[in-house]
Amino acid sequence: FLLTQPHSVSESPGKTVTISCTRSSGSIASNYVQWYQQRPGSAPTAVIYQDYQRPSGVPDRFSGSIDSSSNSASLTISGLKTEDEADYYCQSYDATSWVFGGGTKLTVL
Amino acid sequence: QVQLVESGGGVVLPGRSLRLSCAASGFRFSTYGMHWVRQAPGKGLEWLSMIFYDGSKKYYVNSVKGRFTISRDNSKNTVYLQMNSLRAEDTAIYYCARDVGAGWDKSGTFGSWFDPWGQGTLVTVSS
């Protein structure tokens, strides 16, 4: 299966942005979805796991959700800060493989 | 603290081989599965391979099946990626990541996520 994300999104500081991740086949709700943040020149770090859980240290401005009607997952970042500017990747899996979305470049301007 | 450090990258001729290493510290390595993920220049993340905690199961993406081999040495807290018959399109930063369990999902699969990631090692395949 494939995970499709918008190539880029932009929003102003203090606002809220949502990044979508649509699964091509199979139910989005069947397997957990994770989200990773990657700043330029750095390795990715998880901001959401198990659909909506936040790893320790990730602020509650980051939230995840699943929408079975659109077969998609979403990452929502509220109270945007300039430090949130990064690439964001969704990720899921099946029994024998792990899949990343193509990534979304978030610009905070 | 939990840390992963990759090594072994470099410039290699097409058709040649390279072995990457990922040294783990700060956690009980022998109880965790491990992954390799790569990122071509300016591109997104591509999952490559996963090995169970005890090496009993290994999984690969189709694009590297038959060319790449994942292995581990729990006595050295290290996971490896042997890459053979390298191509220009294998040029990328290669990351290792720990497999962290997320529990049983609705499909009956034991889900997992990647945490932490190493800093990556650059592999350039070029003549």
Q: pLDDT tens for residues A3-43? A: 999 999 999 999 999 999 999 999 999 999 999 999 999 99
Best mutation target, A32, A42, A71, A75, to test chain B (most B CBs within 10 A): A32
Strands (E), chain A: 3-4, 8-11, 17-23, 34-38, 45-48, 62-67, 72-77, 86-93, 98-100, 104-108
Q: Is the pLDDT of residue B102 over 90?
A: no
- B115 and A46 in contact by Cβ < 8 A? yes
Give pLDDT tens digits for B17-73.
Answer: 999 999 999 999 999 999 999 999 999 999 999 999 999 999 999 999 999 999 999
Q: What is the pLDDT of residue B22?
A: 98
Give just the sign of the alpha carbon dihedral A46, A50, A52, A53: negative
Closest CA relative to residue A21, chosen from A59, A61, A76? A76
B105 touching chain A per CB within 8 A = yes
A31 touching chain B per CB within 8 A = yes
